[in-house]
Amino acid sequence: SARQVNIAIIGAGGVGKCFLSQLESLAARRQNQKLVLTYIATSKKAVYSDSYSPIALDSVVSTLSSSSQAPLALPKLVDYLAASGTKTVLVDNTSSQDIADAYPSFLRRGISIVTPNKKAFSGSYKLWQDIFAAKEEGGSLLYHEASCGAGLPVISTIKDLVETGDEVTKIEGVFSGTMSFLFNSFAPTSGSGGGKWSTEVAKAKELGYTEPDPRDDLNGLDVARKLTILARYAGLEVESPTSFPVQSLIPKQLESVASGDEFLARLPEFDAEMEEVKAEAQKEGKVVRFVGSIDVASKQVKVGLEKFDLSHPIAALKGSDNIISFYTKRYGSNPLIIQGAGAGGDVTAMGVTSDLLKVLAQL
């Protein structure tokens, strides 16, 4: 008979809902393993039972929304999952630091984890070390492809490069769908047609490309988190996402305004500054883009504005796509380039589901 694997899920938002539908079809197709959902929670509600009864996948969203159970506290959840006596995978579809901080206690108890959450891998270097030590100790598995570039194979690529003995010398790219969209429309390679900076930011927000408060995209921290993860896999002991230069595109005077709406209302006051940045690049026949880079030899990690020739792949990016170039000893002067959608529920969930498949193949 088919071996059983239990699945526990935290988070049922944009990515979580897409993951649930991918899990439903995966479970239906799986021949040699029976996938059983035994726990699901959002920040407010949960569904689970002491007997680990299977939660039906085809109606899980409505079961969850009509549930009156509260989520288990994390130490209780670790105990609950570990006590089932069945191999268990935890899927963390949140952006919670608290849950990330608890990864070592899950991993140590043999519970495997797949997640798009960046917090565990871009927090303190101590947490990073604790996580990999706990994984060894518990014999558990851990994958987080979607924590950088959503469904794009970025984490698996850098791991493969390093583990096969290649030497990564430099990584450079556009790591934010929001920043990609903003600069592709503010400073298009065609030279004309780019609107005012504040107009482009407002448009991006309207189209749902930004966080509710656009400052959460413009501060560069999200990109810095992704760079922290990649730099660590490249062998650099980066202490935290604030331990290297990160250029914020939030004007100083607007850092402390109360709301995202007030920020957007006052942003036009600073259009002249951004126009100057664009014009300066244009004078050199270039365009400005918001990029992250890691120079491994000099141990330099940085995030901010850079100018690129119109023929450069970074300049030619379209829409809200990400692009990540890996320069390595084997690949020489022509980098290995990964490009495509770096955000969106379905593509991000695909990263999580493919991680789950990797775990299932080893359980």
Binding site for ligand NAD (CB under 6 A): 10-16, 41-43, 71, 93-96, 98-99, 116-118, 146, 150, 343-345, 348
Q: How far is the CB of 41 from ligand NAD (least distance, A)?
A: 5
* Number of helical (H) and strand (E) elements in the chain, helices listed first: 15, 11
CB atoms within 10 A of CB 97: 14
Contact yes or no for 113/90 (Cβ under 8 A): yes
**C-alpha to C-alpha distance for 296 and 162, rounded to whole angstroms:** 13
Q: Which residue is nearest to ligand NAD (CB)?
A: 13
Copy the structure tokens of residue 35. Answer: 């996938």
Q: How far is the CB of 45 from ligand NAD (least distance, A)?
A: 8
**C-alpha to C-alpha distance for 160 and 111, rounded to whole angstroms:** 24
The residue among 226 and 232 lying less far from ligand NAD, judged by its C-beta, is 226
The residue among 18 and 317 lying less far from ligand NAD, judged by its C-beta, is 18
**C-alpha to C-alpha distance for 270 and 279, rounded to whole angstroms:** 15
Instruction: Single out the catalytic residue among 118, 119, 135, 226.
Output: 226
Q: Which of 289, 325, 283, 293 is nearest to 305 (CA)?
A: 289
The residue among 33 and 354 lying less far from ligand NAD, judged by its C-beta, is 354
The residue among 102 and 246 lying less far from ligand NAD, judged by its C-beta, is 102
Radius of gyration for the alpha carbons in the chain, expressed in angstroms and rounded? 22
Task: Classify strands 88-92 and 46-48 as parallel, antiparallel or unpaired.
Answer: unpaired
Q: How far is the CB of 286 from ligand NAD (least distance, A)?
A: 29
Contact yes or no for 8/89 (Cβ under 8 A): yes
| Residue 87 falls in the annotated catalytic set | no
The residue among 210 and 328 lying less far from ligand NAD, judged by its C-beta, is 210
**C-alpha to C-alpha distance for 151 and 344, rounded to whole angstroms:** 9
**C-alpha to C-alpha distance for 296 and 306, rounded to whole angstroms:** 19
Q: How far is the CB of 23 from ligand NAD (least distance, A)?
A: 14
The residues carrying an active-site annotation are 226
